A and B are shown apart, each in its own frame.
Chain A
Amino acid sequence: MKYEHELTRGRIKHRRAVEIVAKIAMIGSTTLVVGSLLAIIGAIIWKSLPALKLSMITQSPKGGYYLGKEGGILNAIVGSLYLGLGATALALVFSLPVVLYLNLYTKKKSRFAGLTRFAFDVLWGIPSIVYGAFGFVLMMAVGLRASLLAGIITVALLELPIMSRAIDEVMVLVPRELKEASFALGATRLETAFKVVVRQCMPGILTAVLIAFGRGIGDAASVLFTAGFTDRIPTSLFQPAATLPLAIFFQLGTPFPEVQQRAYASAAVLTLLILLISIASRLLIRKLTKHVIK
């Protein structure tokens, strides 16, 4: 072993020094990361203070809201929730079976699996504006107007690779013995999929859904051309829907400082929403982790 030669004091001092430098680098980095988040959240809250009123989240915009009059962003909150839940559900329907297929039905070195995973990689990297553009082209081809449905489809496309990759990462970690035990007991692949693997991966799947949901609900470029915008809460899939990121965007774009402050408040609301869902799902994970075998 190399270290047998390093018993001289100089070497030990050197190793200690390296250790200290490394520690500084690490603590510094962590502080930078955590600090930048706190700085961003702090800035949002500080700039939004004057506009933080209960009416922000309980009312839709009344006439002239973007010119400084009363109202709130309830339209965007509900619109985003409809959009996010719809898109995430749609993405889940497409991604869970596919990832299960890749992990249970294909062979170990299957080229098809490799190809599909590669496709997911590529889709993962496509900018959301390209999805927005693609969605717009689809809408024009089908004759669909800017609506909740168009937004849901586009955001589902955006979320698909994110969710699939996240689920795949957890599912790959399922020990082979577990699957083999299930097969040995006579279960089909389908049954193994839903009764064993999904149960085992539940926390991971939920985390994946959460990550995808967060990304989908927070993205502006994909909904800009597809979901439209309205001051009302949509009552049908074919009506335009307001979304929080666009609401933030439009409020920032008005010349009225009070409305710009509301933009920050809207950003705070969006962040809070994601945080609440994150906490709620962590609790849910704890409940459903009963069946996970460590």
Chain B
Amino acid sequence: MRLFKDQAAGKLMFLLALFPSFLVLAIIFGLFQKSRAILAIRSVGRLLFSSGWHPLKGEFGLLPFITGTLWVTFVALVIAIPISLFTAIYLSEYAPRYVRDLAKPIIDLLAGLPSVVFGVWGIMVIVPFVGNVLAPLFGVYSSGYSILAGGIVLAIMIFPTIIHVSLEVFASIPFALRETSLSLGATQWETVHHVVLRKGAQGVMAASILGLSRAFGETMAVLMVVGNVPMVPKSLFSPGYPLPALIANNYGEMMSVPLYDSALMLAALVLLIVVLAASVFGRWILIKAEKRAE
């Protein structure tokens, strides 16, 4: 009887476990179906690589949005990864107990803030900062609504993700390893550098890829500070227009302009493919790292 329950539960769980893969396929399929209308009359190359976005004239060049997404995410990662890593190392290796106990819940709280709040704060603080402080420093004019602003806001949003996972990774490294290194005369930082980071490299990479995925998908906060101008960004200080913002801004218009809904679904599909590619890349790195560790 118990065995029966076990088998039955197993079969049921297996069915449930099919669900995630099924969902991914369903979403891809659904998006593809809806994109077909526009793929039928424009070549994929022209859609992905032309930069004119004039839906009413039938021009649906997605290049500005793809580059916008890539730029903003890249900036966010460049800012977030080092800062998160340093913070995680500090909290895990150096900080006195009370600091760690205080900082961890605060950081988790950061993870819980709704993105609208980040967006509004971004407008209040980051946009003027970029426009009135940073841009003049570089001798450029910027309204503040820019790739850089989007990247900064996004970075703050993914801090908790990367920190949280990194902390867990560091915590799982046996203390004995650190003790050995220190007893051999290494400074604490050298211990961190050569021991903790080496062992934890794989986990840290996983954390970064998690951060990357989160950054790709974040919509509202970035939309509010990035400027939303459909052109390929010329610099960090120019406005950009990432793919999720395109979808969010224009979702309501889908019914109204011919082919618009198809184009937006295509944009969503492209976004999904980028996420897929990033996930594949992430898994591949992890597998390679695991192989090396064996």
- Digitize A211-223: 1 where CB-to-B-CB distance is under 8 Å, 0 elsewhere: 1001100111100
A19→B187 contact, CB < 8 A: yes
Output the least CB separation between B198 and chain A (Å). Answer: 14
Let me know if A180 is at the binding interface, CB within 8 A: no
B268→A3 contact, CB < 8 A: no
Q: Which of the residues B113, B172, B247, B248 comes within 8 Å of A271, measured between beta carbons? A: B113
CB neighbours (8 Å) of A105 from chain B are 10, 13-14
CB neighbours (8 Å) of A264 from chain B are 120
Instruction: Report Cα–Cα, A161/B24, bound state, in Å.
Output: 11
A220→B220 contact, CB < 8 A: yes
Closest to B268 in A: A130
B24→A249 contact, CB < 8 A: no
- Digitize A162-179: 1 where CB-to-B-CB distance is under 8 Å, 0 elsewhere: 001000010001000000
Output the least CB separation between B222 and chain A (Å). Answer: 10
CB neighbours (8 Å) of A275 from chain B are 109, 112
CB neighbours (8 Å) of A1 from chain B are 184
Let me know if B115 is at the binding interface, CB within 8 A: yes
Instruction: Report Cα–Cα, A124/B214, bound state, in Å.
Output: 8
B214-259 at interface with A (beta carbon < 8 Å):
214, 216-220, 244, 247-248, 251
Let me know if B159 is at the binding interface, CB within 8 A: yes
Q: Which of the residues B86, B251, B280 comes within 8 Å of A225, measured between beta carbons? A: B251
Instruction: Report Cα–Cα, A115/B282, bound state, in Å.
Output: 14
B83→A219 contact, CB < 8 A: no
B187→A16 contact, CB < 8 A: yes
Q: Which of the residues B23, B89, B189 comes within 8 Å of A123, measured between beta carbons? A: B23
A119→B3 contact, CB < 8 A: no
Output the least CB separation between B193 and chain A (Å). Answer: 8
Let me know if A189 is at the binding interface, CB within 8 A: yes
Closest to B206 in A: A169
B110→A37 contact, CB < 8 A: yes
B109-133 at interface with A (beta carbon < 8 Å):
109-118, 120-121, 124-125
A129→B251 contact, CB < 8 A: yes
CB neighbours (8 Å) of B9 from chain A are 97, 190, 193
- Digitize A97-125: 1 where CB-to-B-CB distance is under 8 Å, 0 elsewhere: 11011100100000010111011111111
- Digitize B75-90: 1 where CB-to-A-CB distance is under 8 Å, 0 elsewhere: 0000000111111011
10 closest cross-chain pairs (CB), A and B: A125-B213, A218-B114, A188-B6, A26-B90, A127-B217, A29-B86, A125-B275, A101-B13, A214-B112, A119-B20
Q: What are 29 pairs between A and B in contact, CB < 8 Å? A: A23-B189, A29-B82, A30-B90, A30-B91, A32-B87, A33-B87, A34-B107, A38-B106, A97-B12, A98-B19, A118-B283, A120-B20, A121-B279, A125-B213, A125-B214, A125-B217, A127-B244, A130-B27, A130-B217, A137-B30, A215-B112, A218-B113, A248-B116, A248-B117, A252-B120, A264-B120, A267-B116, A267-B120, A274-B113
Known: A130-B247, A244-B114. 17 other contacts (CB 8 A): A15-B189, A16-B187, A30-B103, A33-B84, A34-B103, A36-B156, A101-B10, A105-B14, A125-B275, A130-B268, A130-B271, A134-B30, A191-B2, A220-B116, A267-B116, A271-B112, A271-B114
By a beta-carbon cutoff of 8 Å, the part of chain B in contact with chain A is 2-3, 5-6, 9-10, 12-14, 16-17, 19-21, 23-24, 27, 30-31, 82-87, 89-91, 94-95, 103, 105-118, 120-121, 124-125, 156, 159, 163, 168, 172, 184-190, 192, 210, 212-214, 216-220, 244, 247-248, 251, 265, 268, 271-272, 275-276, 278-280, 282-283
By a beta-carbon cutoff of 8 Å, the part of chain A in contact with chain B is 1, 3, 15-16, 18-19, 22-23, 25-30, 32-34, 36-41, 43-44, 94, 97-98, 100-102, 105, 112, 114-116, 118-130, 133-134, 137, 157, 160-161, 164, 169, 173, 188-191, 193, 211, 214-215, 218-221, 225, 244-245, 248-249, 252, 263-264, 267, 270-271, 274-275, 278
